[in-house]
């Protein structure tokens, strides 16, 4: 009875914590993908990698509610049990592989700007994208080699993934990939800091003043924002995910509360899946299409409202009867003036009498 209550509580945690975050990630990724596709200026090699990442993040967001459920014991058939565990694992592995490729492309572009087009990552972009999907697929399908189904056992996480596979996946691919991305981000920030110092020296030599100029202040502020964003992404997004991975492995050998494991898994996987959204929203080019569309819609609405106001102002405010009277009086005065001016002076006197 206590086990059923625990499962119900875990299901409620998934419903209220993981599923809303999953819906947010899916809708946001669709929003950004359409913004890139409809913007012809973004149809380049680098943005192909980012489109692949957003698509992988969309699928990983759809699989978020399934990852905490992998710790449940369920009565499932052979193929259903295998797919229920392997498919979410593959989607999350492909998401991390695409994210690693995007960081590597950015790293190469900044570290070697003059020779970037000669690198394979630029010349063979399609090959790198295919590898970012096929390598996780092959690794995720490896448990099929030693997967042994027993009819008298329930479907569980331990039955599909053996311990050596989990250790290799966690400490051989997942955590090293996160550390590699952190290393590349630090290297990019160091290059930016070095360029900022060179620009500052050049500005001081030109202006010959000790006070920082407005351009220098803007560059320093931008560099500070970049450092803060990278630090925030690592602390808020990657640290919970690394904690989630280690606690998941500890739960296999030590008794950890299922509720704690479910909460940690929901928070850790959800925070990691939010990284591409943070990166894309930080780039104004990816949302330029939607901002232009919103500007056009607002301009059209404002223009229509102004036309209605002009039409309302152009209408006469006098009543209908008063308008007729005013028109009649005007026509009589014009007739009298015309008739008076057209007669000779001798006849005007007679007409007046």
pLDDT digits 0-9 by tens, 132-153: 999 999 999 898 877 666 666 6
User: How far is residue 50 CA from its own chain's centroid?
Assistant: 11
pLDDT at site 208: 66
Instruction: Give the residue with greater pLDDT, 350 vs 202.
Output: 202
CA angle 198, 204, 210 (to 5 degrees): 130
pLDDT at site 254: 77
* Tens digit of each residue's pLDDT (9 = 90 or more) over 232-275: 889 999 999 999 999 988 887 877 788 888 889 999 999 999 99
- Is 80 exceeded by the pLDDT of residue 6? no
Neighbours of 51 (CB within 10 A): 18
pLDDT at site 147: 66
Residue 101 — pLDDT band, cuts 50, 70, 90?
very high
Burial of 76 (0-12, 13-18, 19+ CB in 10 A): middle
User: How far is residue 114 CA from its own chain's centroid?
Assistant: 30
- Contact criterion met (CB below 8 Å) for 93 and 173: yes
Given CA atoms 292, 295, 301, 304 in this order, what sign does their dihedral have? negative
* Tens digit of each residue's pLDDT (9 = 90 or more) over 289-347: 888 888 888 888 877 677 666 666 665 544 444 444 444 455 454 445 444 444 444 44
pLDDT at site 313: 64
Q: Output the average pLDDT for the chain.
A: 80
CA angle 263, 268, 272 (to 5 degrees): 150
Phi-psi region of 208 (alpha: psi -120 to 50; beta: other; left: phi over 0): left
Instruction: Give the residue with greater pLDDT, 205 vs 314.
Output: 205
User: How far is residue 205 CA from its own chain's centroid?
Assistant: 41
The torsion defined by the Cα of 294, 270, 60 and 56, in degrees rounded to 10, comes to 50
Q: Report the run of H or E that residue 33 belongs to, with start and end.
A: helix 19-37
| Rounded Cα distance, 231 and 241, in Å | 15
pLDDT at site 315: 52
| Rounded Cα distance, 3 and 11, in Å | 12
pLDDT at site 8: 74
């Amino acid at each position: 009875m206590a086990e059923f209550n625990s499962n119900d509580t875990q299901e409620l945690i998934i419903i209220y914590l993981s599923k809303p975050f999953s819906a947010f990630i899916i809708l946001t990724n669709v929003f950004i993908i359409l913004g890139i596709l409809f913007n012809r200026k973004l149809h380049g090699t680098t943005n192909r990698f980012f489109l692949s990442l957003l698509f992988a993040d969309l699928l990983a967001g759809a699989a978020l509610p399934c990852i905490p459920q992998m710790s449940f014991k369920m009565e499932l058939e052979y193929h259903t049990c295998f797919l229920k565990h392997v498919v979410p694992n593959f989607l999350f592995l492909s998401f991390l592989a695409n994210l690693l490729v995007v960081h590597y492309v950015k790293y190469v572009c900044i570290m070697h700007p003059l020779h970037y087009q000669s690198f394979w990552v630029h010349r063979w972009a399609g090959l790198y994208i295919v590898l970012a999907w096929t390598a996780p697929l092959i690794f995720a399908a490896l448990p099929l080699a030693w997967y042994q189904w027993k009819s008298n056992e329930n479907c569980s996480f331990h039955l599909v993934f053996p311990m050596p596979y989990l250790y290799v996946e966690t400490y051989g691919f997942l955590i090293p990939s996160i550390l590699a991305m952190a290393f590349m981000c630090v290297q990019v920030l160091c290059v930016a800091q070095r360029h900022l110092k060179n620009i500052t020296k050049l500005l001081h030599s030109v202006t010959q003043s000790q006070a920082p100029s407005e351009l220098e202040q803007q560059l320093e502020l931008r560099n500070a924002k970049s450092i803060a964003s990278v630090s925030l992404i690592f602390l808020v997004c990657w640290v919970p995910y690394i904690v989630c991975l280690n606690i998941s492995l500890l739960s296999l050998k030590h008794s950890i509360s299922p509720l704690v494991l479910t909460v940690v898994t929901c928070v850790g996987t959800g925070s990691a899946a939010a990284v591409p959204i943070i990166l894309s929203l930080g780039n104004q080019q990816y949302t330029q299409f939607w901002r232009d569309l919103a500007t056009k819609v607002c301009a059209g609405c404002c223009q229509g409202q102004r036309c209605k106001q002009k039409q309302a102002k152009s209408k006469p405010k006098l009543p209908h009867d008063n308008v007729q009277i005013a028109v009649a009086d005007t026509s009589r005065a014009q007739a009298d003036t015309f008739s008076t001016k057209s007669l000779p002076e001798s006849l005007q006197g007679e007409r007046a009498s």
